[in-house]
Amino acid sequence: MTTASVSRALDFGKAAIHRNLTSARLIEMAIGRGEGVLAANGALNVDTGDRTGRSPKDKFLEDTPAVHDSIDWGKVNQPIAPDTFAALEDLAVEHLARKSELFRFDGYAGADPEYRLKVSVITEEAWHCLFAKTLFINLPPDELGSFEPDWMVINACNLRLTDYARYGLNSPVAILQSLQQRKVVILGTRYAGEIKKSIFFAMNYDLPAIGVFPMHCSANVDQADASNVALFFGLSGTGKTTLSADENRPLIGDDEHGWSDRGVFNIEGGCYAKCIRLSRTGEPQIWDAIRFGSVLENVVLDPVTRQPDYDSDEKTENTRVTYPVSYIPGAVIPSVGAHPRNVIFLAADAFGVLPPVSRLSREQAMYYFINGYTSKLAGTEAGVTEPQPSFSPCFGGPFLPRPPMVYAQWLAKRIEQHDTDVWLLNTGWTGGPYGVGQRFKLAFTRAFVTGILDGSLRDVKYETHPIFSLHMPQAAPNVPSEVLSPRNTWTDKAAYDVKAKQLATLFRENDAKYDIASDVRAAGPKV
């Protein structure tokens, strides 16, 4: 990375700081400290308490003159004054200084050495350090002595503020980020996803300034053709991890990437997969990756056998597992690839009206990217208990410090430069909305992906959706033709038309928020 690291004089008192311990030692210490137990498959199983998903309403960004004009301020990027940030950071450091031992991870975010960030994570619990070790790129031992971080995460997960209102906070939980100081302070939540997403947020700010398009997507590549790289965009629960885990296509990464003039690279060194209703037959690579060295979050275990019950949502729908990308057989290491041949947008449509697969024009690609439609699925955020229609710009709105059009313009530039095909894949409902219809079968979705990636869907005949103007194939390998046009799957065709127009209206209300070119706006649905 071209940015200079920032020195930090943090006093953690007499706490012994365990730095870059092995996974085995961290697991041993986590169990000994009562932070988790070993599941029968060897994974460390932990409970994150009442916060089992991200806490977006409790995320704040330090507002300074140096960054103010480049930030898309609003519900996602809530400002916090520098003096308040400093006061809360002091509380976090004082809390950690009272501990007898702390844990530190040093490593990288970014598999391409030209664009990587050096990251340090300080935690009060051993399993959070293990989480960082599985999710980021590990530091070679010979680089430890000279390591100076570009970014630091200070995780005081057990400090909950009873007087939070005096600081302008919304709850005893706070995730604070400073782009100028290049640090993150986490208070009061044990949900580890806040660690990884704060660094992704940092990359989303830093990378565009040095000519890289940061993306909330997974990536894989054909094992026989290194030029056949594919990207999968989508919010949590839409299938990024599942669909990119393919035994015939080595994994580059499952969640966060950069697209530079050199190609794509994984920002992380691991995978963070949902495991609700996980099965060996449905997702064999993920199933086999859950072993010693991986971390299960909020999964119910049998009290006697300690076998995970992946079907249980007793604690949350958002049960998770994290593991190093190397646990996926044949994964690309280092995690870099060529320029993508195909880009796939994933949307879990709770209205049940979008086609299961559509090929997009350049203008449609920009339109559906900037709108980022999906449905928030249960458990991915605090308070979300059933699917809710949602528009998240660039399929990653919660992680974008800059205005969404910055990222949309990068997409347009890259797909034009490399003649990349773009597709919209509905992994949501068919035959009716949520509660009436059914979720698309994973086998059908995988068949669509195969047809996209092997080129068999490129030259079939297409028809145009009358409301969304999407180009729908009239035939697809290994998929019944009757499911390709969503209206055909509804018993009540008039009800489908009403629901489709409702969703189209929501698109138009959402796209009015953005200053986009007339041809891009015209590529949206008819109302």
Tokens coding 94: 């004082």
Per annotation, catalytic residue among 197, 359, 376, 414: 197
54 tagged catalytic = yes
Summarised one tens digit per residue, pLDDT across range 378-426 is 555 566 666 678 899 999 999 999 999 899 999 999 999 999 999 999 9
Residue 71 pLDDT > 90: yes
Residue 1 pLDDT > 50: no
- Asked if 227 contacts 341 with a C-beta cutoff of 8 angstroms, the reply is yes
Q: What is the pLDDT of residue 382?
A: 60
- Asked if 110 contacts 3 with a C-beta cutoff of 8 angstroms, the reply is no
Q: Confirm or reject CATH 2.170.8.10 for domain 273-327, answering yes or no.
A: yes
The model's confidence at residue 246, banded by pLDDT at 50, 70 and 90, is confident
Alpha helices in 187-233 (DSSP H): 193-206
- Stretch among 246-250, 352-356, 447-451, 487-491 having the lowest mean pLDDT: 246-250
255 tagged catalytic = yes
The model's confidence at residue 234, banded by pLDDT at 50, 70 and 90, is confident
Q: What is the pLDDT of residue 117?
A: 93
Give the closest residue to 182 by CA, choosing from 53, 73, 98, 89: 89
Report helix, strand or coil for 171. Answer: coil
Tokens coding 36: 């988790």
Q: What is the pLDDT of residue 9?
A: 61
pTM metric for this prediction: 0.92
Per annotation, catalytic residue among 118, 190, 274, 320: 320
Q: What is the pLDDT of residue 2?
A: 40
Cα 501 to Cα 495: distance, rounded to the nearest angstrom: 10
Would you kindly state where each structural domain of the chain is located, as residue ranges? Answer: 16-36+53-209, 273-327, 341-380+395-491
Name 153's bridge partners: 121, 184
16-36+53-209: CATH number: 3.40.449.10
Per annotation, catalytic residue among 51, 128, 240, 499: 240
Fold (CATH) for 341-380+395-491: Phosphoenolpyruvate Carboxykinase; domain 3 (3.90.228)
Name the one residue in this structure whose structure tokens are 């009757």: 482
Cα 113 to Cα 422: distance, rounded to the nearest angstrom: 28
Residue 321 pLDDT > 70: yes
- Stretch among 55-69, 160-174, 308-322, 362-376 having the lowest mean pLDDT: 362-376
Per annotation, catalytic residue among 123, 236, 242, 450: 236
Cα 212 to Cα 266: distance, rounded to the nearest angstrom: 12
Task: Tell me what the mean pLDDT of segment 275-290 comes to.
Answer: 93
Per annotation, catalytic residue among 150, 255, 349, 421: 255
Q: What is the pLDDT of residue 139?
A: 93
**Phi first, then psi: what are they for 176, rounded to 5°?**
-115, 135
Q: What is the pLDDT of residue 94?
A: 96
236 tagged catalytic = yes
Percentage of residues of the chain with pLDDT beyond 70: 96
Give the closest residue to 420 by CA, choosing from 225, 252, 231, 155: 231
Asked if 273-327 and 341-380+395-491 have one fold, the answer is no
Residue 451 pLDDT > 80: yes
Name the one residue in this structure whose structure tokens are 């998770």: 320
Task: Tell me what the mean pLDDT of segment 133-154 comes to.
Answer: 94
Per annotation, catalytic residue among 216, 249, 339, 376: 216
Residue 4 pLDDT > 60: no
Name 472's bridge partners: 463
Cα 344 to Cα 422: distance, rounded to the nearest angstrom: 6
- Stretch among 100-109, 321-330, 371-380, 501-510 having the lowest mean pLDDT: 371-380
3-state secondary structure 57-91: HHEEEECCCCCHHHCCECCCEEEECHHHHHHHHHH
